[in-house]
Each structure stands twice: as structure tokens, then as C-alpha cells.
């Protein structure tokens, strides 16, 4: 059976992705913070393991019992407040970069040798803010832009054995907009004006987790066998690079 690891899989997109992958015949393992797994424990036949992308030993332990992987998705992401670069504290900037970019680097190093065994596929979830730059999202946007570069570099270095691609969603209606799963109570004020956001989106609604799941499954599967180093933008037409 094909096995699939979802890092950050207890979040809104991750839960929908885990359910879809299970329905499609994958053996699914969700990795996330202890508090995230406690708040949203995996259902059905989905396994779980604790991981903290800011803690290298935690990452090594999470992958220690695997011999190979068919698929790997990094959904982990963290945003801290909204402020200009000038008003962003160095500590806040470092925390965002540490989880979103350095954490992605560390977890990729663990996953890649396992993916090579089966010739698997890696998908990184980035953000439209990586390229569609907006004020007050500087640290987060920079971290996700770096992750796109990391995705392209890995695609070149790991070809032809492992394919590495990315999905770049717009804002998705999940707890991430309310502080994030595991790192908050998920009840913080919304980080954007949803009504205004919808007016600027040609498809005239917010993205739902299910909207992101399909493109991820496409990149994991055989229909994308000749794709690597690519970013699929999923934003309802709000950004067309």
C-alpha cells in the first residue's frame, strides 16, 4: 500500500486531505504538534505522530520507524500578527522563518531518503503571498517565497527519482485565519476582511479546504508524472502570475 505522511495534517486542509487520501487507498500518517493532535485527533484508520518543526530531535523521532514513503506533504505554516517590516520585531521574524522555512528544510531532509526508495512525490504547501506580495505580511510571505525556491532546488537535485512540487493557496476558510491550529485557541480576530477579499476574487467566495485537496492529490498521483519544480496557484482567479 502507498503510504503518505502529512506534516501539519491536523489543520483544516490537512484533515480534509487525510480523509480524501484514505478514501483513495493511501495509508495515511498525520504528523503535528501534540496540542494540535489533541484538539483534532485523526479519525478512522489514520495514524498520528507528534512533531515540532522547530525541534530537530522531534523531527528525527517522527520519521525514525519508516523504511520508505510513497508521498509526503508539508502543510505546516505559521503567521504571527500583521505589521510592516519596520514594525516587525526580530524575534517575530525569526519565529516565522524558523518554522515555515527552516522547518521545511529539516523535514525535507528526513523525508527525501524515504521517498527515493519508491520514487515518491513531495508537495509543499506555500501561499499566494509568496509571489502576490501584500503589505504587512512580510515575514510570512518571505518564508513561503523561500519555500518555493527550496521546492525548485529539491526538484532539480532529486530528479528523476523524486518529484517535488508546491501548491500555493489563497486565504482558506480554516482556523489558520483565527490564529492557527495548535498554536492558539483558534478564536483570534480574523486576519483579513473577508467581505472585501471576496469582492476581489473572480470566483466570488473564500477557498475551502476541499479546494486545495484536489490539486495536492493531483501532484501526489500519476496524472502529474511529468511535473516537477512547479507551483499550482489555487486562488479563485484572485492572482494570475
- Identify whether the C-beta of residue 10 lies closer than 8 Å to the C-beta of residue 30: yes
Do strands 121-125 and 163-169 pair parallel, antiparallel, or not at all (unpaired)? parallel
Prior bond of 160 cis (ω within 30°):
yes
CA dist., res. 170 & res. 208, Å (int): 10
Three-class SS of 56-108: HHHHHHHCCCCCCCCEEEECCCCCCCCECCCCCCHHHHHHHHHHHHHHHHHHH
Indicate yes or no: pTM above 0.75: yes
Which domains, from first to last, does the chain contain?
3-234 (3.40.50.720)
Q: Which of 111, 206, 203, 240 is nearest to 163 (CA)?
A: 111
Cα dihedral: 23, 29, 33, 39 (round 10): 40
pLDDT at residue 31, as a whole number: 98
Q: Which of 145, 27, 127, 124 is nearest to 72 (CA)?
A: 124
Cell of 116: 527515493
pLDDT of the chain along its 241 residues, tens only? 799 999 999 999 999 999 999 999 999 999 999 999 999 999 889 999 999 999 999 999 999 999 999 999 999 999 988 899 999 999 999 999 999 999 999 999 999 999 999 999 999 999 999 999 999 999 999 999 999 999 999 999 999 999 999 999 999 987 666 655 555 556 666 667 889 989 999 999 999 999 999 999 999 999 999 999 999 999 999 999 8
Amino acid at each position: 500500500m502507498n503510504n503518505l505522511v502529512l506534516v501539519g495534517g491536523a489543520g483544516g486542509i490537512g484533515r480534509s486531505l487525510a480523509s480524501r487520501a484514505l478514501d483513495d487507498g493511501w495509508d495515511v500518517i498525520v504528523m503535528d504538534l501534540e496540542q494540535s493532535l489533541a484538539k483534532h485527533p485523526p479519525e478512522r484508520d489514520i495514524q498520528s505522530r507528534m512533531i515540532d518543526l522547530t525541534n530537530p530531535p522531534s523531527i528525527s523521532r517522527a520519521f525514525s520507524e519508516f523504511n520508505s514513503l510513497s508521498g509526503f506533504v508539508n502543510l505546516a505554516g505559521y503567521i504571527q500578527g500583521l505589521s510592516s517590516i519596520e514594525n516587525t520585531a526580530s524575534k517575530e521574524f525569526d519565529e516565522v522563518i524558523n518554522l515555515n522555512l527552516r522547518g521545511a528544510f529539516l523535514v525535507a531532509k528526513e523525508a527525501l531518503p524515504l521517498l527515493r526508495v519508491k520514487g515518491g512525490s513531495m508537495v509543499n504547501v506555500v501561499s499566494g503571498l509568496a509571489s502576490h506580495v501584500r503589505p504587512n505580511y512580510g515575514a510570512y510571505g518571505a518564508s513561503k517565497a523561500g519555500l518555493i525556491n527550496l521546492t525548485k532546488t529539491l526538484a532539480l537535485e532529486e530528479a528523476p527519482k523524486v518529484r517535488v512540487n508546491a501548491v500555493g493557496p489563497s486565504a482558506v476558510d480554516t482556523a489558520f485565519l483565527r490564529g492557527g491550529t495548535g498554536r492558539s485557541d483558534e478564536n483570534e480576530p480574523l486576519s483579513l476582511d473577508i467581505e472585501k477579499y471576496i469582492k476581489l476574487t473572480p470566483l466570488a467566495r473564500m477557498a475551502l479546504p476541499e479546494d486545495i485537496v484536489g490539486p495536492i492529490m493531483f501532484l501526489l498521483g500519476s496524472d502529474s508524472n511529468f511535473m516537477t519544480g512547479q507551483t499550482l496557484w489555487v486562488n479563485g482567479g484572485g492572482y494570475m502570475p
